[in-house]
Structure 1
Amino acid sequence: MNETPGLNFDEQKVDKLKELQESGILVYPWEYARIDHAAEIKDRFSEISHEKSEEAVSVAGRLYTKRSHGKTVFADLGDESGRIQLYIRKNDLGDDAFSFFAKNIDVGDIVGVRGHIFRTKVGEISIWVDEITLLSKAICPLPEKYHGLTNVETRYRQRYLDLIINDEARSIFKTRSRIISKLRSDLSGNGFMEFETPTIQPIYGGANARPFTTYHNYLDQKLYLRIAPELYLKRLIVGGFEKVFEIAKNFRNEDIDTHHNPEFSMVEIYSAYADYNDMMSLTEELISGIIQDAAGTSEVEFDGKMIGYSRPWRRISMEKAVLDAAGIDIHAQSVEELRKLAEKERIDGWDKAGSPGEFLVLFFEHFVEPTLIQPTFIYDFPIENSPLAKKHRSKPGYTERFELFVAGMELANGFSELNDPLDQKARFEEQDAKRQRGDLEAQMIDYDFINALGYGMPPTGGVGIGIDRLVMLATGQNSIKEVILFPSMKPVRTSDEQTEE
């Protein structure tokens, strides 16, 4: 094997490639007139007999197997749609072409094939090959056939190899593509317009998260990768667009685990003259339809549990959910009593909470969140942790905010959006005070956004839905790395680096 770090070249394949190039063989041609696909051929010729079809076909793809029987070779060719068997005879190709194929075309190579369709004696629809053309020489070996690509780290780091070998991986990402397409079409069908907002921002906002920081030399300015597109999309509502959305890449400088990746995808949706009740209904409608379309059923297994997405979904206030699960009524006890309860349960953050609302969130995350397996809307959040949500119309100390939980993880977050510029200014100032005290996830003050609200934003409902987690649920994958093509990974250290340590 090649000893250059990071390369997996097979020296024998490299030598073969050089020999072909030196002999004038075009190893990497510019194009090929591919007309047909494997799956389409099998469907179109489903009634074919053992006789060759009169109609010729032209396919192209990767050679996955090659089984020689003297003057006859059976091989499997795979393209994006699936695989089909090739039947290659010396009598059909001719001595020179067959010899070239036998000697120079290997498993892993990309080839073009022309021939006719027939059914073998064992009933398999196959291509009786008249001509085979080398389109791309592979000099890295594919994993061994029967064990495949078993190393999880390799699957994530070399996703291209995972996709070559793993049919399930390709299926997952085809489903992901369909989910995003349906999401976009459903929103457009409901009158929403899609926009693009800045990824690099002078002020980060729209969520409580630690940002990635960069620097622009020409502007001589610190900038941030966005943690959410929220504040820019709401500027569009101020500007007169009434139903907007963005399918966005967001970036948060946080831990990596089975549910979190520093770079992730979400859709944010805003609708003028709507509130959080409307957004719960829209969220339910979108996700139930997407699951049905992606999985072909309203029930999908996830982490050993069957989850049903038939509507309507359960809705319960955070306060009642905690009371039902833990018997804790935060309004019936003092802050000191709540602190003692939280300390007794060893709840993370108990020593930093200082209000009933903050303890309510801690109790919810500890006692309730892991139990929310079936789709459940938790609504009416304390004002302390909802700096962009509108104050509740009838419950002092609360906001009109909801989160959707499925399989114990948050899938969506929405509000009746705060549109009072003075209230927003005060909330930002509270966040900034936390940031100054060392809270790395607190939000900055965005004065231009406050100014935008000063021109008047209509009553608005908004929601953000995590696309990666939605794909996890639709495909039954319990790790976010299985649904992100190129997830963030720890760097691979060389032996020299390890020795230096």
Structure 2
Amino acid sequence: MSNGINEVRNEKLMSLIQQGVPVYPDQFNTNYELQEAAKLDDGVNHVRVAGRIMGIRRFKKLTFITISDIAGRLQLLLKMDEIEEELYRQFQDYIDIGDFIGVEGRMYSTKTNEKTLRIERLQLLGKALRSLPEKWHGLTNVETRYRQRYLDLLMTEETQRRMLARIQMISALRRFFEDHQFLEVETPVLQHTSSGAIAKPFQTHHRALDTELNLRIAPETYLKRLIVGGFTKVFEFAKCFRNEGISPQHLQEFTMVEGYAAYWNYEDTMKLMRDMIIHVLNEVFHTTTISIAGHTVDFSEEWEVISFRDLIFRDTGIDIDLYPTVEALREETKRNGIELEHADIESLGRGNFIDILYKKVSRPYMMKPTFLINHPIDLSPLARANDMNPSITDRFQLVINGAEVINAYSELVDPTEQRSRLVAQAMLKSNGDEEAMEMDEDYLLAMEYGMPPISGFGFGIERLLMVLTDSETIKDCVLFPLTRKL
């Protein structure tokens, strides 16, 4: 057969069709999920379940079958004298691993105490024309695992567990924010500017309006517009897109959870985020102690809080406060023998340069949950300046195992100051810093109608899942990661 279809399986399909067997019926009514049936008492009758065949063990007059789905599996017993002879023959002759079946029968336990359904009725629900990967080796090709995630989900229990953990985590997060009186909202994906973060956007063309648009890099400025509009606590599960380099910690399309609370500052948010992580651990993993990179980390212990300046000084001996210009800081970095890898290192502004430095000398070595605070103001164009030291911001990041998991700050609500900072960012952008922010007049207009004190937070679902499941790459934490077109 062409296209890799198994010739023998296709012949079986044709034979069943010629015998009048419905090979792709429109439905099958079940009364139990597989994981529910596996917990039933012996003797329970009229149990109807369905699933994909993942194992067949044939004996002379009986056959053990394993069917499964994403949530569970169940063993079935097919005996020659307990089912119609024609159905038994059809199963033996035409049914393969990978096919879908629906069955009805009664529960019992085998001699090894495995819950099993004794089949009394059986129906083919779908014929697989390709063989599944070999059971014991599964999918070893990483590219195939990402490109054909459906096979990875079928064959790799770790992938199944991680994806179910993602679903449970999203559910737990929603409940957490709703229990804290946050309202879930939705904001635009197509935007005229690329505000809300320092990143390069994907661009597209709107044919009807004949205008260039960006896919959002963050929902920030629209969520803040809602605060102007009278909301006091909002959050969003926002698909975001950043046209940046590929790495084990970065996706170009990802799901961000972002939220804002009126009348809060960043210290209020810091407490909320710690409570949120503890809540997710308890709800999804049923513990606050997990293994990360071979280390046992108890999240119920106190988390370190350290300033950006103190962290870099501790790790390099460089006091960034003594170097107010990017040129001076770049020279001091060279004097200390620190080589920074960035394609446009000479064009970066001071804020982005400091960020590159921190990611080189400090972040990879931060294992336990740590709140990094007091970021330089030129690294945080939307954050509120600290009252005591206007060169730093009231901001924090949560770093775990070298990954920035959460970003949060007290928001800048002064429209005059915000305009000044966006002008500075726009100048950096015009001078070649592609990750600098654009001017956003519409957002400034909203700010001029007045804002209360605000604190906000943002984090990627995939990044959080990656850290909590100790995954090697963030691609393992999304169902269908983007791959190069064949």
Q: If the TM-score is normalised by the length of the shorter chain, which range does it land in?
A: over 0.9
Q: Residue 402 of structure 1 corresponds to which residue in structure 2?
A: 396
Q: Residue 347 of structure 1 corresponds to which residue in structure 2?
A: 340
Contiguous gaps of at least 5 residues in structure 1? 493-501
Mapped contact 2:403–2:467 kept (Cα < 8 A): no
Mapped contact 1:319–1:360 kept (Cα < 8 A): no
| Residue-by-residue CA offset, 1:99-158 (whole Å, 9 max, x unaligned) | 111112111111001111112223222111111100111111111122122211111111
CA, structure 1 residues 86+26, in 2 after alignment: closer, same or farther (shift >3 Å)? same
CA, structure 1 residues 340+442, in 2 after alignment: closer, same or farther (shift >3 Å)? closer
Alignment pair present for 1:367 and 2:371: no
Mapped contact 1:295–1:474 kept (Cα < 8 A): no
Letter paired with 1:152: V
- Residue aligned with 2:222, SS: helix
Mapped contact 2:349–2:433 kept (Cα < 8 A): no
Distance 2:185 2:56 in 1: 49
Distance 1:106 1:295 in 2: 36
- Residue aligned with 1:384, SS: helix
Mapped contact 2:347–2:431 kept (Cα < 8 A): no
Q: Residue 9 of structure 1 corresponds to which residue in structure 2?
A: 5
Q: Percent identity?
A: 39
Mapped contact 2:39–2:115 kept (Cα < 8 A): no
Q: Residue 496 of structure 1 corresponds to which residue in structure 2?
A: none
Q: Displacement, 1:297?
A: 1.4
Mapped contact 2:347–2:432 kept (Cα < 8 A): no
- Residue aligned with 1:31, SS: coil
Q: Residue 289 of structure 2 corresponds to which residue in structure 1?
A: 299
Q: Residue 20 of structure 2 corresponds to which residue in structure 1?
A: 24
Q: Displacement, 1:72?
A: 1.3
TM alignment of 1:76-475, pairs within 5 A:
76-332=66-322, 338-343=329-334, 344-348=337-341, 351-352=346-347, 360-475=354-469
Distance 2:204 2:119 in 1: 56
Mapped contact 2:349–2:428 kept (Cα < 8 A): no
| Residue-by-residue CA offset, 1:183-210 (whole Å, 9 max, x unaligned) | 1110011010000000111222101111
| Residue-by-residue CA offset, 1:226-278 (whole Å, 9 max, x unaligned) | 10000000000000100000011100111112111110111001000011111
Q: Displacement, 1:331?
A: 3.5
Distance 1:195 1:115 in 2: 47
Q: Displacement, 1:352?
A: 4.4
CA, structure 1 residues 206+171, in 2 after alignment: closer, same or farther (shift >3 Å)? same
Distance 1:20 1:437 in 2: 69
Q: Displacement, 1:354?
A: 6.7
Distance 1:352 1:70 in 2: 76
Q: Displacement, 1:56?
A: 2.7
Distance 2:71 2:348 in 1: 55
CA, structure 1 residues 437+113, in 2 after alignment: closer, same or farther (shift >3 Å)? same
Letter paired with 2:484: K
Mapped contact 1:303–1:478 kept (Cα < 8 A): no
Greater Cα offset, 468-477 or 328-337: 328-337
Q: Displacement, 1:382?
A: 0.9
Q: Displacement, 1:173?
A: 0.9
Q: Residue 55 of structure 1 corresponds to which residue in structure 2?
A: 45
Using the size of structure 1 for normalisation, the TM-score is 0.92
Distance 1:334 1:142 in 2: 61
Greater Cα offset, 385-394 or 449-458: 385-394
Distance 2:445 2:39 in 1: 60
CA RMSD in angstroms comes to 1.8
Mapped contact 1:428–1:443 kept (Cα < 8 A): yes
Contiguous gaps of at least 5 residues in structure 2? none
Alignment pair present for 1:36 and 2:45: no
- Residue aligned with 1:249, SS: strand
| Residue-by-residue CA offset, 1:425-448 (whole Å, 9 max, x unaligned) | 111111111221222212111101
Q: Displacement, 1:332?
A: 4.3
Mapped contact 1:300–1:473 kept (Cα < 8 A): no
Q: Displacement, 1:224?
A: 1.1
Q: Displacement, 1:353?
A: 5.8
Letter paired with 1:166: T
Letter paired with 1:148: G
Mapped contact 1:295–1:475 kept (Cα < 8 A): no
